[in-house]
Amino acid sequence: MAKKKPQKAKQAKAKTAAKKSARKVVKFTAPKKANGNGKSNNLPKPSSKPYGQDGKALTGVRILDFTHVQSGPTCTQLLAWFGADVIKVERPGVGDITRGQLRDVPGADSLYFTMLNHNKRSITIDSKHPQGMRVLNALLIKTCDVLVENFAPGALDRMGLTWDYIHKLNPRMIVASVKGFGPGPYEDCKVYENVAQCAGGAASTTGFREGPPLVTGAQIGDSGTGLHLALGIVSALYQRIRSGRGQKVLCAMQDGVLNLARVKLRDQQRIAKGPLTEYSQYGEGVPFGKAVPRAGNDSGGGQPGWILKCKGWESDPDAYTYFITQAPAWGAICDVIGKPEWKTDPDYATPKARLPKLKAIFATIEQWTMTKTKFEVMDICNAVDIPVGPILSMKEIAEDESLRKTGTVVEVDHPTRGKYLSVGNPIKLSDSISEVKRSPLLGEHTDEILTDVLGFKANEVAEIKNSGALSAPKKEEKAA
Ligand code: COA
């Protein structure tokens, strides 16, 4: 007993010290009681501060970010932009593998890494070292609200960080994971972007009918799933206000891709009842098989659309426009392309009459679009409510002034690589304005997290550091 007392006092003192030195974090508190119409006397009064100056949406939320590559980092970057304090835990000496992948500046973190890890802090911890686990435990118990990870299936458990262990340590902790597949025959598989695009139904429905399946350039498997996971985390945080407990959040990449390809599962069910009349293959008289076919550039909605050449297409691979022959705009289309007689011609006047001739109709429209630049087509058509879209190259997007103005494309400065362009937060909140801050260097915040966040004393920090838990193994040890 006599021994326990000073120990307790010591712990209490350390706790107060940690509290004092920790960053000022406003903790998530629940409104006490809501009545039937959702109003509560305990809800805070509307802030009188100007919009954008009353903290951020996720101020007070701290994330233990155990993510790597793309899917997980996309999620935690979004949370960081909304104000969460994201502490990225990386393997000593190596870090997130993307730091060194597709490097364009020797010795500097790659664009792959920097563009996915803005607004985060980095600490290096060997999670398989006992002293490393000591730091992880402190992060889990003392300070974090959410652990986010996208390791291969079973890796977190192999570190000893099972759900049961974490939940016992900190019942409020939310554990969020990206995996390739959900529970089932493939749950143990490692998965990358294109595997998910294929398994989620996107590849089989992308491309031209006569050609092989195609993957898309948009990272719907990785970034798409990260986006889904972020919504899951925010929802779990909201539920925790009521329930007081954390929960597991799982997003399988296959599920995320399928969610984005849901119109194709819609068509899979329609195909059993008859041909998909808005697909150009219907107009071409090509019979449908048992599964949804690839539809080229047909529009996914009920309105026929196609990609058409514009002025300069011979030398510019992106001189194209997407053109939609939406029924209400048909009259305007006929006038613009110089075919006013089609407005009343029974062979062209109705959507049904046009379906078998779509290919020829688009060829006629293309004769007109080829006389204009894609931007001229945009101006002329939008003035009369014809929906069209210029095919923008990444060069054009990078130089687009309006995207710079909204912060969707931002220039960021980095100490070792200099200035680079990135995509800012695509989600704009009027009272939680995102500032894009550069990604952290490997282990840049190790000391500040150990002392300011976790409250370790100088001798404890020295003990942890001397154990080798936070640094890369020495070269001789590696070789041995
Ligand atoms: N300290 C010590 N070990 C660490 C560590 C740290 N800080 N961080 C990671 N590791 C270890 C892991 O514990 C694991 O070890 P184990 O296999 O002995 O248990 C090891 O590093 C490798 O992790 P893993 O996730 O298997 O990496 P990988 O490079 O082999 O696989 C993926 C990469 C992306 C294929 C895989 O992580 C995966 O399938 N993730 C889920 C789906 C996903 O997100 N895919 C898209 C990525 S964009």
From the CA of 191, give the closest atom in ligand 1. 39
88 CB near ligand 1 (under 6 Å): no
List pLDDT tens digits, range 385-444: 999 999 999 999 999 999 999 999 999 999 999 999 999 999 999 999 999 999 999 999
Q: How far is the CA of 18 from the centre of ligand 1 (A)?
A: 31
Q: Report pLDDT for 32.
A: 56
Cβ of 150 below 6 Å from ligand 1: yes
Residue 28 confidence (pLDDT): 53
**Do the domains 53-260+409-479 and 296-386 sit in the same CATH topology, yes or no?**
no
* Cα 159 to averaged position of ligand 1 atoms, centre (Å): 11
**Which is the closest atom of ligand 1 to the Cα of 124?**
7
Mutate to test the pocket of ligand 1, among 90, 128, 151, 189 (most ligand atoms within 8 A of CB): 151
Q: Where are the domains of the chain?
A: 53-260+409-479, 296-386
Position 286 scores a pLDDT of 94
CA of 82 to the centre of ligand 1 (A): 26
From the alpha carbon of 156, which atom of ligand 1 is closest? 13
Atom of ligand 1 nearest to the CA of 128: 2
Of ligand 1's listed atoms, the one at least distance from the Cα of 159 is 13
Residue nearest to atom 48 of ligand 1 (CA): 70
Dihedral sign from CA coordinates of 193, 198, 200, 203: positive
User: What is the Rg, in whole angstroms, of the alpha carbon atoms belonging to the chain?
Assistant: 28
* Ligand 1 center–CA 128 separation, angstroms: 13
DSSP 268-319: HHHGGGS--TTSHHHHTTPPP-SSPPP-TT--SSSS-EEEEE-TTTTT-TT-
* CA of 204 relative to ligand 1 center, distance in Å: 28
CA atoms within 13 Å, Cβ hemisphere of 341: 1
What number does the ligand 1 atom closest to the CA of 70 have?
Answer: 48
Q: How close is the Cα of 84 to the center of ligand 1, in Å?
A: 24
Q: Between the CA of residue 303 and those of 246, 380, 385, what are the distances in Å?
A: 44, 20, 14
Q: Is 126 a catalytic residue?
A: no
DSSP 40: -
Identify which of 91, 82, 88 has the alpha carbon closest to the alpha carbon of residue 56.
82
Q: Is the CB of 222 under 6 A from ligand 1?
A: yes
127 lines ligand 1 (CB under 6 A): yes
Question: So what's the pLDDT on residue 20?
Answer: 43
Find out whether the beta carbon of 178 lies less than 6 Å from any atom of ligand 1: yes
Q: Which residues of the chain have pLDDT under 70?
A: 1-41, 475-480
Which residues are CB-contacts of 457 (< 8 A; sequence separation ≥ 6)?
14, 17
* Choice from 90, 190, 225 to test ligand 1 binding pocket (greatest atom count within 8 A of CB): 190
- Compute, in angstroms, the gap from residue 65 CA to the centroid of ligand 1: 13
Residues 6+ apart with CB under 8 A from 3: none
Whole-number Å distance between alpha carbons of 328 and 344: 14
Q: Locate tokens 């995509």: which residue? A: 423
Which CATH architecture describes the domain 296-386? Answer: 2-Layer Sandwich (3.30)
For residue 280, the model assigns a pLDDT of 87
At residue 33, the pLDDT reads 52
From the candidates 65, 109, 145, 222, give the one annotated as an active-site residue: 222
Ligand 1 pocket residue status of 187, Cβ below 6 Å: no
CATH number of 53-260+409-479: 3.40.50.10540
Question: Residue 357's closest CA among 346, 368, 367, 344?
Answer: 346
Q: 195 CB less than 6 Å from ligand 1?
A: no
